[in-house]
C-alpha cells in the first residue's frame, strides 16, 4: 500500500464503520486514480479540500435524513431538534429584550440605542438590537422551511454577539464560555440541516412562538424588575430569585422544565422510546452548564451573595443530573449501530485491462 493510500484510508476513518465497509474500496480506487503519478518519495498527502469533503460526507451520514440507518436518523433528528429548541429559546429571550429596549426608549424618551451615532457605544448597542431581531428571524425562517437562510442569519446573529466581545480583548473568557449558549444551537443548525435533511415545515403559529412566549415573558420580567427597584426590597427572597432571571438562569429554568416534561411523559408516550428529544436535551445541557459555570462565584461575602452562589451551584447540579439521566435514557433508546456487511465488498469479476471503456 502506498503512503498516499494509507493516508487517505486514515482520512476515511472519519466515516462510520458501516459506511466504510460499503464504500471504502471504491472511494480509495477513485481517489488513487485521480492521484496517479505520485510516489512515496513525493511525501504525498490528501489535500485539504478532499479531507473537508470526507468530513462533510461523514457529518451528513452520521446526522442522516430520511432513508438513513435508524441510529444515524435518530442522531440527525436529535441534533435538528436541539437546533430548533435552542433557537426557540434565543428567539423568545430576544423578543423579551427587544420589547424591553423599546419600552425603555418610549418611557424615557431617549433613543433605544444610546451614544453618538457611530460611537463605540452606539455600534455595540445597535449590534445588540440587531442581534435580537436576527435571532427571531432565524427561528422563523428555520421552522418555515428555509434552513439555508436561517444559517446565514444565525451566523450574522453570532457575529453581532461575539463581535463586541472580540473588541474587548483578553479577559472575556467567561463571556466566550457563556456565548456557547448561543453557538451550540447554531452549530446544531449548520450541522443538522444539511442537504439530505428534511427541512421543517411548521405553521405560521409555530414561527410566531417567540413572540407569543416573549411578550408574557417580557411582562413578567418587567414586573419583577419593578419589584426589585422598589424601596423595600426583600433581599432574602431576591437572592433566591435573581439567579433565575439572567439569560443563562432562564436557560437553566427552561432546560429543567423541558427535561421534567420529557422524562415525565416518556413512560406514557406511545413513541416513548424515541431518543430524539432526550438526546437533543442532553446536547443542550452542555452549553447550559457552561453558561452557569461562567457565573459561579467563589468569593461570596454577604448572606445574599452566598445564597445566590448556593442557588447557582444547585442549578448546576440539577442540570448535570438531568443531562446524565437524559443521556442514559437516550442511549438505551438509540437503535443499534448499523452492522457492516458480513463480507467486505469485493469485485465479482476478474481484472480487466486498464484501458477499460466508459469512464
Partner 1 sequence: MTEPAFLVLTALVDAPRHGYGIVQEVEKLSDGRVELKIGTLYGVLDRLAADELVVLDREEAQQGRLRRYYRLTESGARALEAEAARLAENVRSARERLRLRHAGGVA
| Interface with partner 1 (CB under 8 A) | 23, 25-34, 49-50, 52-58, 60-61, 67, 195-196, 345-352, 354, 356-359
Q: Rounded to an integer, what distance in angstroms lies between the CA atom of residue 311 and that of residue 219?
A: 24
Minimum separation from the CB atom of position 192 to partner 1 (A): 16
Handedness of CA 255, 256, 261, 262 (dihedral sign): positive
Minimum separation from the CB atom of position 352 to partner 1 (A): 5
Minimum separation from the CB atom of position 122 to partner 1 (A): 38
The DSSP annotation for 115-157 comes to SSTTSHHHHHHHHHHHHHHHHHHHHHHHHTT-HHHHHHHHHHH
Handedness of CA 93, 97, 102, 104 (dihedral sign): positive
Which is nearer to partner 1, 197 or 207 (by Cβ)?
Answer: 197
Minimum separation from the CB atom of position 16 to partner 1 (A): 13
Which is nearer to partner 1, 53 or 203 (by Cβ)?
Answer: 53
Which is nearer to partner 1, 31 or 255 (by Cβ)?
Answer: 31
Which is nearer to partner 1, 5 or 100 (by Cβ)?
Answer: 5
Which is nearer to partner 1, 69 or 99 (by Cβ)?
Answer: 69
Q: Rounded to an integer, what distance in angstroms lies between the CA atom of residue 215 and that of residue 118?
A: 30
CA-CA distances (angstroms) from residue 56 to 52, 84, 262, 265, 279? 6, 21, 31, 36, 22
SS3 139: helix
Which is nearer to partner 1, 20 or 90 (by Cβ)?
Answer: 20
Burial class (CB in 10 A: 0-12, 13-18, 19+), 160: buried
Minimum separation from the CB atom of position 27 to partner 1 (A): 5
The DSSP annotation for 11-40 comes to HHTTS-HHHHHHHHHHHHHHHHHHTTT--G
Length of the chain: 359
The three grid cell numbers given for residue 201, joined into one nine-digit string:
415545515
Minimum separation from the CB atom of position 156 to partner 1 (A): 24
Minimum separation from the CB atom of position 54 to partner 1 (A): 4
Minimum separation from the CB atom of position 83 to partner 1 (A): 21
> Is 292 within 8 Å of 252 (Cβ atoms)?
yes
Of residues 158, 303, 319, the one with CA closest to residue 249: 319
> Is 333 within 8 Å of 274 (Cβ atoms)?
yes
Which is nearer to partner 1, 34 or 170 (by Cβ)?
Answer: 34
> Is 197 within 8 Å of 65 (Cβ atoms)?
yes
Which is nearer to partner 1, 152 or 177 (by Cβ)?
Answer: 152
Amino acid at each position: 500500500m502506498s503512503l498516499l493510500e494509507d493516508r487517505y484510508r486514515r482520512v476515511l476513518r472519519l466515516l462510520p464503520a458501516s459506511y466504510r465497509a460499503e464504500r471504502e474500496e471504491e472511494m480509495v480506487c477513485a481517489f488513487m486514480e485521480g492521484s496517479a503519478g505520485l510516489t512515496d518519495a513525493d511525501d504525498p498527502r490528501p489535500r485539504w479540500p478532499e479531507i473537508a469533503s470526507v468530513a462533510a460526507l461523514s457529518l451528513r451520514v452520521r446526522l442522516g435524513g430520511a432513508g438513513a440507518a435508524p441510529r444515524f436518523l435518530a442522531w440527525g433528528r436529535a441534533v435538528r431538534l436541539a437546533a430548533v429548541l435552542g433557537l426557540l429559546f434565543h428567539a423568545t429571550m430576544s423578543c423579551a429584550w427587544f420589547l424591553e429596549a423599546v419600552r425603555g426608549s418610549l418611557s424615557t424618551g431617549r433613543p433605544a440605542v444610546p451614544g453618538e451615532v457611530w460611537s463605540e457605544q452606539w455600534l455595540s448597542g445597535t449590534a445588540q438590537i440587531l442581534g435580537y431581531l436576527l435571532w427571531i428571524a432565524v427561528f422563523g425562517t428555520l421552522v418555515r422551511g428555509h434552513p439555508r437562510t436561517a444559517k446565514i442569519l444565525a451566523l450574522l446573529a453570532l457575529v453581532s454577539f461575539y463581535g463586541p466581545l472580540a473588541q474587548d480583548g483578553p479577559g472575556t473568557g467567561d463571556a466566550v464560555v457563556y456565548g456557547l449558549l448561543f453557538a451550540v444551537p447554531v452549530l446544531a443548525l449548520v450541522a443538522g440541516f444539511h442537504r439530505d435533511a428534511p427541512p421543517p415545515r411548521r405553521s405560521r403559529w409555530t414561527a410566531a412562538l417567540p413572540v407569543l412566549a416573549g411578550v408574557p415573558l417580557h411582562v413578567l420580567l418587567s414586573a419583577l424588575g419593578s419589584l426589585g427597584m422598589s424601596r423595600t426590597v426583600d433581599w432574602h427572597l431576591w437572592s433566591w430569585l435573581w439567579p433565575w432571571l439572567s439569560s443563562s438562569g432562564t436557560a437553566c429554568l427552561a432546560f429543567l422544565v423541558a427535561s421534567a416534561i420529557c422524562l415525565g411523559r416518556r413512560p406514557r408516550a406511545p413513541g416513548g422510546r424515541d431518543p430524539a428529544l432526550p438526546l437533543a436535551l442532553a446536547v443542550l445541557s452542555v452549553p447550559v452548564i457552561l453558561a452557569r459555570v461562567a457565573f459561579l462565584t467563589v468569593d461570596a461575602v454577604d448572606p445574599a451573595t452566598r445564597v445566590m452562589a448556593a442557588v447557582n451551584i444547585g442549578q448546576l447540579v440539577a442540570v448535570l443530573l438531568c443531562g446524565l439521566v437524559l443521556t442514559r435514557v437516550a442511549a438505551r433508546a438509540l437503535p443499534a449501530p448499523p452492522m457492516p456487511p458480513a463480507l467486505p465488498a469485493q469485485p465479482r469479476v476478474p481484472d480487466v485491462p486498464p484501458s477499460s471503456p466508459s469512464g
